[in-house]
Structure 1
Amino acid sequence: MPSPPPSPYEGTELSAITSQPTNRGGPDQVDKLLSSGADPEYLPGKASKLLSETEPNWASQDPPPQFELHGEQWLPPLYSAAYARNASQQSKDENFRMVTSLLQHGADPFLEFPQALYHPPRDSHPRAPFPGEDPPRRAIPDVPSEVEWDHLGDKIVHNSDDDMEDEETPPRWGVRHVLHAIIEDSGRFKPFMDYPGFLESLDIEHRDPQGRTPFLSACRSALGADARAGAGLADLSWNSDVGGFDSNPYPEWDRDSGPTDWDYPDPKTETLVDILLRLGADPLAVDHQGKNALHHLLVEVRNNQNARFHSLAVVRRTLRILCSKYHSLVGQPDQHGIYPLHATLRRMRLHPKRNLYIDMAELQGCLLELLHAGADPRVKDSKGNTALHYLADDDLTGIWFCTERRKIFYQLLDKCGCKDDINLRHKAGKTVAELILDDNGRMEADKDRWYDFMRRPKEGRDLRQWEDVDEEVFSKLGDAGINWKVKTSNGGTLLHLVARSGL
């Protein structure tokens, strides 16, 4: 007598079990359900409905959309089984057992599933991707010294008047493939590497709905392409008690003479990018938006919610290798006219403040890698911005974390021929100086706001006063041949902006 077909309950139960915390008996429960006939590829009706209702152009925006979990969202068991919950060996063992069981029972690594697109809270004030497009910010009024810090929460408001929402915005949905999602979200890939024949039989050029190959997904992983293959996001673990990392998946390498083969002395610790290239992945592949490997290395935000704001992917070593071996990538724009150089400048804009994890990403170091590889700082993006425009609109006169940015700005003026572009307007009509001076209230807000001195890193801090930095920047602009009497996009002159800005 034939066995009864698996129930929908068993299919959804697989997803629930693989999503639960460590030490709940997940691997044994997965084995039991699969042995009883549960379908590892079962797609609930709601998920199927969302797939059919996805907007045709959901992936056309630039920067590309990011994903997030929304409510009690269903996830494929194979995706959840690979999710790195913590850095413990128990977590790694459970990942291995569940992924292995699912693959043995025919789970499709390229199964299609819906996921909500990330919608940033409007009060988080993310930077606009292009210079001069940030919404206005109101300056913060002076707070009397007797006001307690505990009472400042509802007083420090610097939004534009229309940037608060009364109701939650309904999610928009996109489509992903399981293996690409695991790689991009830095789930644990090692169980797949260790599964007999998996890498050898992998469709190395398989495209997900956005046209990304596994290689392109590896370039944009949340942990970063420099991490050893198989590591998960949770394997980057800082121990505040000892002031160091309990677990760190990145190699030590010499920025002056490296990278070398000795950065990963054990073949089992090479990067996933290395492995996929060795298996024959096309290093020159581009996705549906024309973005190449360098664009994906330098993506501004990561899908994994634990990596979105407090950390960035570590990619400088891989960036140097790809720039050296496949030099044509450096000067290749995507379909939106964005070059890899613009991508790294946008990455800097979105993460202006510093912490340990941002420092590890070496934002300015990645920009220097591209410049050393021959990236043209005078090339324009689709909106007429050069590297000078991006840096000018990146809090260039800030006194806390902007010293390195100013050094690069001066280097472009003095050594890279960008002095000739100092009066160049982008398509919206703003020059470099206007972007420095008329920044929709960002400068005024930063100069009037209170700073949390205790949390500010000492390294890289410029301890001069605002006036000293202003004078330095103005002198450099003058030496470059700035025309202070040129008309601005609003019909006045730069001198009017100088007077209004308080510089």
Structure 2
Amino acid sequence: MKVKLMVQKSVNLNAHALLASIKIRLVDVLETLLAAGMDPNMHRLHDDKWEYKHAMGYTRTALEEYPLWVAATQHGPENDKLTHEERETRDNSVKMVGLLLAHGADPFATFKSRNPSHMSEHVRSVINETKDSVLISVEELDAEPEFQKVSILHDLLEHGNLVHPILEMSNLDPHHRDSRGRTVLHAASLSRVGIHAPIDVLLFGAGQEVEGPRQSAPSFLHHLSSIGTDKLAVDNQGRNILHLMLVAANGHLVSCHPILWVLPLLSEAEITALTTQADVYGNTPLHLALRYAILRRDASPVEALLEAGADPFAQDNRGNTALHILAYRVAESEAPWTLFTKMLELGLDINTRNSTGQTPIFNLNRSLPVYIGHVGSARAEYVTPAQALALFEDAGADLFARDKHGAGLLHVAAQLKQKEFPRSNRGMRHEQMRVATRFELLVNKGLDVAMEDEKKRTALDVAAAYDNQSVLKLFDKDNVRNKVTAAELEEVGAEYDSDDMGF
């Protein structure tokens, strides 16, 4: 045991010397250490989580440091205002990466890092409790552990760091997969700069965007294709490059979504294969683009995929259609509204049931789950609850539909818990008013609050169980409608502004 500890201390000491020379960018010292036989693949363990401050202003958490990874992440962002010394420092980073590779550094060495796609146990409990899996399922969360083993190159690609010296290696294996079954091209698809960017692109300063392909070097897609990558490969979750571009956890630094640049670079046969590929959860790229549309209020990836021939009628493993997904935000944003009407024009059935027996209108009476995360964008025209309901009615939606457990729209509308409301008090108040307004609108359409589900629960029983006071206040102790309160709630609901929700 003592011998093992002594060996570990010796390794850490040598690793410390090697890493120190890299962090202060002493190229000559690094070259001397490597020439003396120091192992370029030695690494240092961290007892605690170590947060690395990225050039974009966010942090990423690692538990181990490899010299190659540290050298590549030392290369700062491109900036026209860089001084001569700063540019020399950047050049030194490129030299250090080259030295490490020349002495045998393994770009596919793995280390333990925090998974940016991981969600907490609270999130899982909310999903289990609400049985809400239209946007994300427990199975998808199970595939995203808190920590994961990642390769150096995969991690550098995903975060947009210095990679072109590695990609230009003559013996690079483009088919190498990480612990998630992702190839080098898959990792590039998750990049913040997109696979249409040149391989020598580096992260720009915080807040700046990569506008599109430059001509200084081949794009990630072209370069990796030239060395034999399989553009149709899928990872352990059955996801291809289009799927991954739509689930990138770190977002994108582009003025438009990378998928708009990439689709024109693919052949017709490749587009057909990629757009029809469903992952293990039954999601085609179009399903993920629809999620993206309601979370980012950006319909362009959906429109691009439809134009490329994606099947708008595809259902996921839970039977959800495009209408089920879009219904979440039809009453909140113009982009989902536009896409929803487009899907109806394409012939999607407004009364298609998913595996729980619910039609799309059930999701209209839910708020977008807080655990999914709300991402703001340009202010969109607000759609009132009454307008949204009218859209469904005009399309022939059955307001009296029940799911396989006998629950109707009022049961669902009564379920929203206070703890699931958005963060601000003002936003919470408006959300409560909106829930009450939706409930009132349905009652006005003739839905019966006394209707029972298979467990003999009425909608008011559900509201009481969820402590949904905004709905309970619509009725007195004898379950008779309180007209004054209802009118007041509807008036407040009409004043609702989506910006107050913190989206």
TM-score normalised by structure 1 residue count = 0.65
The amino acid across from 1:218 in the alignment is A
Per-residue deviation, 1:37: 2.8
Residues 370, 209 of structure 1: alpha-carbon distance in 2 compared, 3 angstrom cutoff: same
Contact kept in structure 1, 2:275 and 2:310, CA below 8 Å? yes
Residues 27-58 of structure 1, C-alpha deviations (whole Å, 9 max, x = no match): 344334323332111144679xx9xxxxxxxx
1:10 equivalent among 9, 14, 18: 14
The amino acid across from 1:203 in the alignment is D
2:190 equivalent among 197, 220, 239: 220
Distance in 2 separating the partners of 1:391 and 1:323? 29
Distance in 1 separating the partners of 2:311 and 2:20? 50
Per-residue deviation, 1:110: 1.4
Q: Please give the residue correspondences for 1:280-429 in structure 2 after superposition, counting only pairs within 5 Å.
A: 280-302=228-250, 314-322=258-266, 324=268, 326=270, 327-351=272-296, 363-393=298-328, 395-398=329-332, 402-414=333-345, 416-418=346-348, 420=349, 422-429=350-357
Residues 123, 290 of structure 1: alpha-carbon distance in 2 compared, 3 angstrom cutoff: closer
1:499 aligns with 2:433: no
Distance in 2 separating the partners of 1:96 and 1:274? 22
Distance in 2 separating the partners of 1:390 and 1:12? 51
Contact kept in structure 1, 2:113 and 2:149, CA below 8 Å? yes
Q: Please give the residue correspondences for 1:33-432 in structure 2 after superposition, counting only pairs within 5 Å.
A: 33-44=33-44, 69-70=60-61, 73-83=63-73, 84-88=75-79, 89-90=87-88, 92-118=90-116, 119-120=118-119, 133=132, 172-193=146-167, 198-232=168-202, 234-235=203-204, 237-238=206-207, 245=208, 248-251=209-212, 264=214, 266=215, 268-302=216-250, 314-322=258-266, 324=268, 326=270, 327-351=272-296, 363-393=298-328, 395-398=329-332, 402-414=333-345, 416-418=346-348, 420=349, 422-432=350-360
Contact kept in structure 2, 1:34 and 1:40, CA below 8 Å? yes
Residues 332, 441 of structure 1: alpha-carbon distance in 2 compared, 3 angstrom cutoff: closer
Per-residue deviation, 1:69: 4.0
SS at match of 2:393: helix
Structural RMSD (CA) = 3.9
Distance in 1 separating the partners of 2:379 and 2:306? 21
Residues 92, 40 of structure 1: alpha-carbon distance in 2 compared, 3 angstrom cutoff: same
Distance in 2 separating the partners of 1:40 and 1:347? 41
Distance in 2 separating the partners of 1:202 and 1:185? 20
Contact kept in structure 2, 1:330 and 1:370, CA below 8 Å? yes
Q: What residue ranges of structure 1 are gaps of 5+ in the alignment?
A: 1-5, 51-66, 136-170, 239-244, 252-262, 353-362, 447-454
Residues 407, 349 of structure 1: alpha-carbon distance in 2 compared, 3 angstrom cutoff: closer
The amino acid across from 1:485 in the alignment is F
Give the number of the structure whose residues are more often helix, by fraction: 2
SS at match of 2:160: coil
The number of residues matched between the two structures is 377
Distance in 1 separating the partners of 2:169 and 2:341? 47
The amino acid across from 1:339 in the alignment is T
Contact kept in structure 2, 1:301 and 1:309, CA below 8 Å? no
Residues 114-151 of structure 1, C-alpha deviations (whole Å, 9 max, x = no match): 2233445689999979x97289xxxxxxxxxxxxxxxx
1:438 aligns with 2:370: no
Q: Which structure has more RCO (C-alpha within 8 Å, separation ≥ 6)?
A: 1
Residues 82, 484 of structure 1: alpha-carbon distance in 2 compared, 3 angstrom cutoff: same
Contact kept in structure 1, 2:44 and 2:65, CA below 8 Å? no
Residues 388, 109 of structure 1: alpha-carbon distance in 2 compared, 3 angstrom cutoff: same
Residues 333-370 of structure 1, C-alpha deviations (whole Å, 9 max, x = no match): 12222211112223334445xxxxxxxxxx41111111
SS at match of 2:337: helix
What is the percent sequence identity of the aligned residues? Answer: 27
The amino acid across from 1:379 in the alignment is A
SS at match of 1:113: strand
Residues 381-402 of structure 1, C-alpha deviations (whole Å, 9 max, x = no match): 1111111111112x2211xxx1
Distance in 1 separating the partners of 2:169 and 2:109? 17
Equivalence for 2:4: none
Distance in 2 separating the partners of 1:372 and 1:211? 30
Distance in 2 separating the partners of 1:117 and 1:378? 33
Per-residue deviation, 1:500: 4.3
Contact kept in structure 1, 2:63 and 2:111, CA below 8 Å? no
Distance in 1 separating the partners of 2:368 and 2:184? 40
Contact kept in structure 2, 1:186 and 1:221, CA below 8 Å? yes
1:482 equivalent among 388, 391, 397: 397
Contact kept in structure 2, 1:222 and 1:313, CA below 8 Å? no
Per-residue deviation, 1:285: 1.2
Distance in 1 separating the partners of 2:254 and 2:232? 31
Distance in 1 separating the partners of 2:407 and 2:196? 48
Contact kept in structure 2, 1:206 and 1:213, CA below 8 Å? yes
Distance in 1 separating the partners of 2:395 and 2:195? 38
Larger radius of gyration: 2
SS at match of 2:317: coil
Contact kept in structure 2, 1:68 and 1:116, CA below 8 Å? no
Per-residue deviation, 1:375: 1.4
SS at match of 1:335: coil
TM-score normalised by structure 2 residue count = 0.65
The amino acid across from 1:367 in the alignment is V
Contact kept in structure 1, 2:111 and 2:149, CA below 8 Å? yes
Contact kept in structure 2, 1:220 and 1:296, CA below 8 Å? yes
Contact kept in structure 1, 2:21 and 2:30, CA below 8 Å? yes
Equivalence for 2:423: none
